[in-house]
Copies of this chain bind each other. A is one copy, B any other.
Amino acid sequence: MKREMAVAALLVLSGCGSVRGVGDMGVVIERATGSVEVVESTGGTVLARVEGLGDMSHASLVYSRDARYAFVFGRDGGLTKVDLLSGQIVNRIIQAGNSIGGSISQDGRLVAVANYEPGGVKIFDAQTLELVADIPALSASGKPSKVVGLADVPGQKFVFSLFDADEIWLADVQDPAKPVIRKFTDVGSKPYDALVSQNGRYYIAGLFGEDGFALVDLWKPDAGVKRILPDYGRGEKRQSVFKMPHLRGWALTDEYAFLPAMGRHEVLVVNRSDWKEVKRIPVHSQPVFAMAQPDGRQVWVNFAHPESGKVQVIDTMTMKVVKTLSPGPGVMHMEFTPRGEQAWLSVRDLDRVEVYSTRSLERVGSLSARKPSGIFFTSRAHRIGL
């Protein structure tokens, strides 16, 4: 009987998952092998590996509102629902030819995916992954567009940018069968990525076709799009862009936004009260991510190839680089523990995730991972604007 019970218990555990708080868990993308690692940040350990997720280059994910399931967006159009507690795939669909990230609605019922090919946004039931809405992203002239910078905002809405149509759309999906779309046109040339402020109020899209950023105050949509930092590269020869900077760093402190400049060795600092440039902070190379710690006290910056072995930490009060770290070749992504005591860095070419203390800026831990890229903790389940 004892042995049977142990077997049964094991079955329960392996079949249904383990009994565990998901609050300190996370997922690391292993881009080369189509797999993810399930990790936890209390002890800093790997709990499971999940395979079979397809092309995971540039993969990202969002979490269900109970933080148990990750919805992983692959480059191949795959949408995979992973159960962190069982370490298994519970559902997987190929929803497009090429996709670039997604989002989950405020109420957790809808998962939206931004597509390159065929463009547009598809919306799925988070429970079943059944398609509930399909929003083709057509410009005024009827041309389909790649969609980028998709994020959820309060009031059961999604916001996203049309790279090929120079538009930003705000979709109210309260009734997912009939999305109500508000379009902002002529926002600037080729919006390539975007970020949303922590409270969901401001949407800032980076422009690839010109200098500057497009800003929408979603509390005042009638005011339209405001162009910010239009002059930051004016009259200066643009360098080759080795890698498009990512804006999803939410490097917004109370007073300032810290934005990675495109093709320049600078982080741009913008005053949030008037959205004017305050300063350009010289950094090691072309920044990819500029990410503020949860307390906003420091901003961490990683860099494009071939300088991707360095990370710089900026003090947001003095606006100076306070330390240059050398975690190892190929630092792809950074993620802070929810309350900010640690920064986790994926160091692709070391096959490791390196853990740093944000207080001492020393390495305090290390995990094994195969060619890690994105790192995503479950506290994202509770955040606006992802």
CA–CA, A190 and B108, complex, Å: 44
State whether A106 touches B339 (Cβ < 8 A).
yes
Question: Are A65 and B42 interface neighbours, CB within 8 A?
Answer: yes
Query: Quick one: CB contact mask for A64-99 with B, threshold 8 Å, 1 for yes?
Result: 111111000000000000001110000000000000
Given known contacts A339-B384, A341-B107, A22 and B19 CB-to-CB distance under 8 angstroms: no
Question: CB-CB < 8 A to A24: which residues of B?
Answer: 65-67, 108
Q: Does A199 contact B (CB under 8 A)?
A: yes
Interface pair A65/B338, CB less than 8 Å apart = yes
Cβ of A340: which chain B residues have Cβ within 8 Å of it?
Answer: 106, 154, 384
B-chain residues with CB within 8 Å of residue A317 when the two chains form the complex: 219
Cβ of A181 < 8 Å from any Cβ of B? no
How near does chain B come to A188, taking the closest CB pair, in angstroms? 24
Q: How far is the CA of A379 from the CA of B1 in the complex (A)?
A: 41
Which chain B residue shows the least CB distance to A198? B198
28 sampled A-B residue pairs with Cβ under 8 A: A5-B7, A5-B8, A9-B9, A19-B85, A21-B66, A21-B67, A21-B68, A21-B84, A21-B85, A22-B66, A23-B64, A23-B65, A23-B68, A23-B381, A41-B65, A65-B339, A106-B339, A106-B340, A107-B341, A154-B294, A154-B339, A156-B341, A197-B254, A199-B294, A199-B297, A219-B297, A219-B317, A379-B382
Q: With an 8 A cutoff between CB atoms, is A32 at the interface?
A: no
Contacts of A5 in B (CB 8 A): 4, 7-8, 11
Number of copies: 2
Residue ID in chain B nearest A383 by CB atoms: B339
> Chain A at the B interface: mostly helix, strand, loop or mixed?
loop
- Whether, in the assembled complex, A296 has its beta carbon less than 8 Å from a beta carbon of chain B, the answer is yes
Residues in B with CB closer than 8 Å to A17 are 19
A219 to B, closest residue via Cβ: B317
10 additional contacts (CB under 8 A) given A22-B22, A154-B297, A154-B340: A4-B4, A9-B9, A23-B23, A23-B65, A24-B67, A24-B108, A155-B359, A199-B295, A254-B254, A339-B382
